């Protein structure tokens, strides 16, 4: 029989050959490296029997599917270790996930991280024993008998349709209900680590039993595992929720509600600095600032389409717009997006081709009903502010406007030291607009990226229903990727709100509309910045740039005088005049991650100088006062 290889070549194989046989026929090196196979696009075990005409790909450590395969197999090894250590364990599900795996279990012993060492030790013994992962196909009746003491597995089996092909996998003392595939042997697992515990309701239902979710990870080398664990430790240190408390950035008060951040003075100052910095740049780029309401009559949301398609994520309420004698209730919705307001501002006047492109921007606060389980500090909140803008232009102006937006993206990301990549999402199955509009719009985005020398990936079918988009993904200091900026073409809003402009031929045409956000959510961007910089924001953005430290009471007047000079050039300054030892004052400034500490004593006053400490470099010696004032002046917006 003939099988087809990934490069399109054919390979003659004997009837009954397996994926492992195909790998061996190609070469001894590939046979040794093989972990699993892909047959006609389906992941399978190495002992899968191939058929005439099958397209066969060998999965190795270099394959994109390899880590999930490794981690799913490691989840089974962990389950086997739990059975060996604790006996009667009830198992839920144990999938591979991003960065690792988990297994939901129920057992009499209350596990803690202190138990991880014993579980990992038993896992290592199972790995060293070179236990095979073996699978069988069983009937529904056999499965029900096999898992008669596993209530969660029984429930899953009962939900299977009658024609379901049921497979089980055995690993040491553990038998699991699993579709696979898996590695051939536990010996193919090089590096493991259990990471944390959590509670998880069975099937995500709060009315069902609470299970213990054990998280872990696995890599193909000890070095990769060590790098991951280092980054995990760094991520915990950099957690913006922790830094937010320590640096006085924001609070979340349960009384206020879930996902509604409230900014303390330091946080408010950083937000305003970000906005003012971007605002000045946008004016220079030809944008005009607008301000729109936080609520609109429901008719707006019906016209925009949000009422039908986004209602579950919005907050609606009724207002009596009549009298006490004749009440007349009107429904209003809190805005989850700024675009309808900008559209209504566009249509508030008759527009000409001479007005285009028209670029409206707004720091608009929006509210979305996110599920409480996914709310995560500033990174995912229910109330947040977008640096939103909408560009109304002619068809011929689309490419140049997108290029200009990408220039802005580049400027902002370079300012903060972010590496970034781009992804163009194309037409989904359900969409509006003609084929010709989609083709033109998608090619316009591609052309804009090319003109900007920005490499991009194509994400087929993941565009919005109303148009294609470019998503910008940034990489932070420890290698994590974040979705931030976006540029979207919208066929929907101009049509629904019947927008037009007068052409040079005195005809009416629909403008093209671009949505764009660079920070995206300012809250989210701030959270990313806090984690990227580990709280040590750059000098120009730090809420307090300088703290002046008088050595003794007699130096206070000089400290306040110098603080005043710094403030006069735009510096943000505090004076620590408490009667505390200098080491305590310095430690306090360090803990607040203030960029500069200025020490003033008898010597500094006599010589009209200051002693300078920098938060990461330490003592920088004695400086002329004017030299330091110039540093702060240069950092002012």
3-state secondary structure of 224: helix
Structure tokens at 618: 């330490």
Instruction: Sort strands 573-575 and 90-91 into parallel, antiparallel or unpaired.
Output: unpaired
Q: Which residues does residue 600 pair with via DSSP β-bridges, in sequence order?
A: 550
Q: Which two tokens stand for residue 220?
A: 């193909």
Helices (runs of H) and strands (runs of E) counted in the chain: 20, 33
In degrees and rounded to multiples of 5, residue 515 shows phi and psi of -90, 140
| Residue pointed to by tokens 């929907």 | 492
Phi and psi torsions of 484, nearest 5°: -125, -90
Helix (H) or strand (E) holding 84: helix 66-86
Evaluate whether 212 touches 194 at the Cβ level (below 8 Å). Answer: no
Q: Please tell me what DSSP assigns to residue 523.
A: H
Preceding peptide of 225 cis, ω within 30°: no
483's enclosing H/E stretch is strand 481-490
Contacts 24+ apart (CB under 8 A), 115-121: 116/194, 118/85, 119/78, 119/81, 119/82, 119/85, 119/194, 119/214, 120/81, 120/192, 120/193, 120/194
**CB count in 10 Å sphere of residue 230:** 11
Look at phi and psi of residue 608 and say left if phi exceeds 0, alpha if psi is from -120 to 50, else beta.
Answer: left
Residues listed for the chain:
637
Active site residues per annotation:
339, 368, 386, 388, 390, 469, 515
Q: Are 251 and 264 in contact (CB under 8 A)?
A: yes
φ/ψ region of 76 (left if φ > 0, alpha if ψ in -120 to 50, else beta) reads: alpha
Q: Which DSSP symbol is given to 20?
A: H
């Amino acid at each position: 029989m003939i099988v087809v290889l990934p490069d399109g070549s054919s390979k003659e194989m004997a009837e009954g050959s397996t994926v492992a046989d195909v790998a061996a026929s190609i070469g001894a090196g590939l046979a040794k490296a093989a972990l699993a196979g892909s047959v006609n696009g389906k992941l399978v075990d190495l002992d899968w029997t191939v058929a005439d005409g099958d397209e066969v790909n060998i999965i190795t450590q270099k394959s994109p599917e390899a880590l999930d395969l490794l981690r799913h197999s490691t989840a089974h090894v962990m389950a086997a270790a739990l059975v060996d250590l604790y006996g009667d364990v009830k198992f839920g599900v144990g999938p591979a996930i991003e960065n690792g795996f988990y297994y939901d279990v129920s057992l009499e012993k209350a596990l803690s991280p202190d138990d991880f060492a014993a579980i990992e030790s038993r896992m290592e013994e199972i790995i060293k024993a070179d236990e095979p992962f073996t699978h069988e196909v069983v009937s529904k009746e056999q499965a029900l008998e096999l898992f008669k003491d596993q209530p969660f597995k029984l429930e899953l089996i009962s939900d299977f349709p009658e024609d379901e092909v049921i497979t089980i996998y055995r690993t040491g003392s553990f038998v699991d209900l699993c579709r696979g595939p898996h590695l051939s042997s536990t010996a193919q697992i090089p590096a493991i680590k259990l990471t944390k515990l959590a509670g998880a309701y069975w099937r995500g239902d709060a009315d069902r039993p609470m299970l213990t979710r054990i998280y872990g990870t696995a890599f193909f080398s000890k070095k990769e595992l060590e790098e991951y664990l280092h980054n995990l430790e760094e991520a915990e240190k950099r957690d913006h929720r922790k830094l937010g408390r320590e640096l006085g950035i924001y609070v979340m008060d349960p009384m206020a509600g879930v996902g509604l951040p409230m900014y303390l003075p330091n946080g408010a100052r950083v937000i305003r600095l970000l906005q003012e910095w971007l605002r000045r740049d946008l004016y220079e780029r030809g944008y005009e600032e607008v301000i729109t309401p936080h609520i609109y009559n429901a008719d707006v949301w019906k016209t925009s389409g949000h009422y039908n398609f986004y209602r579950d994520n919005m907050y609606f309420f009724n207002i009596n717009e009549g009298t006490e004698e004749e009440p007349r209730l009107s429904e209003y919705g809190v805005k989850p997006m700024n675009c309808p307001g900008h559209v209504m501002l566009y249509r508030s006047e008759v527009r000409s081709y001479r007005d285009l492109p028209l670029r409206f921007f707004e720091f608009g606060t929006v509210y979305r009903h996110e599920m409480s389980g996914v709310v995560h500090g500033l990174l995912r909140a229910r109330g947040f502010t977008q640096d939103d803008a909408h560009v109304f232009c002619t068809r011929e102006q689309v490419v140049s406007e997108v290029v200009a937006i990408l220039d802005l993206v580049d400027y902002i990301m370079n300012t903060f030291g972010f590496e970034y990549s781009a992804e163009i999402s194309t037409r989904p199955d359900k969409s509006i607009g003609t084929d010709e509009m989609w083709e033109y719009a998608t090619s316009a985005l591609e052309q804009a990226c090319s003109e900007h020398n920005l490499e991009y990936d194509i994400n087929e079918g993941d565009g919005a229903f109303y148009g294609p988009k470019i998503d910008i993904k940034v990489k932070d200091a420890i290698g994590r990727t974040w979705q931030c900026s976006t540029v979207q073409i919208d066929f929907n809003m101009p049509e629904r709100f019947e927008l037009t402009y007068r052409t040079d031929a005195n005809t009416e045409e629909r403008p093209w509309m671009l949505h764009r956000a660079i920070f995206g959510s300012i809250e989210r961007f701030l959270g990313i910045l806090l984690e990227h910089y580990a709280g040590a924001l750059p000098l120009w953005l730090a809420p307090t740039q300088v703290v002046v430290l008088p050595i003794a009471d007699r130096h206070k007047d000089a400290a306040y005088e110098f603080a005043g000079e710094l403030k006069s050039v735009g510096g943000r300054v505090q004076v620590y005049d408490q009667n505390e030892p200098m080491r305590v004052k310095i430690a306090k400034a360090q803990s607040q991650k203030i960029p500069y500490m200025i020490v003033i004593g008898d010597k500094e006053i006599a010589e009209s100088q200051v002693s300078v400490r920098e938060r990461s470099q330490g003592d920088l010696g004695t400086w002329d006062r004017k030299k330091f004032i110039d540093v702060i002046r240069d950092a002012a917006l």
